[in-house]
Amino acid sequence: MIKNYIHSAIIVLTQTLLPILVLVIAAPWFINSNLLQQWQRSLADNQLWFLILHGLFYLGLVFLWPKLIIRLQTQSKISIEQLNLALKVRWYLLSIFLFMDTVMLWRMT
């Protein structure tokens, strides 16, 4: 019993601490490098294309998502609840993407 607990605790700690450690090590390197400034300048220069391509992506997400889900349903057996949940996920994804783009554009101005 204790062996299983220790085994699962090691796995959870590794899954939790390893990404945090990588983030703590890599974040100052990215912040101090010119990479973020180059990306910010590049996005500011191409802001119109950024908005157009993301608008097309969002339209595709809204209109093509049900067709994709129905195609996946024909390939594998999923229940009605899973189908309805998969169709609702589209709106969650859309809201998350729009929020991230809004924050990104807000930071650029």
Model confidence, pTM? 0.52
- 49 touches 43 (CB < 8 A): no
Q: Report the pLDDT value the prediction gives residue 1, as an integer from 0 to 100.
A: 65
Among all chains, which residue has been given the structure tokens 């589209």? 90
For the stretch 29-79, pLDDT in tens is 777 778 777 877 887 888 888 889 988 999 998 899 999 888 888 888 888
Residue type, 64: L
Position 59 scores a pLDDT of: 92
14 DSSP assignment: H
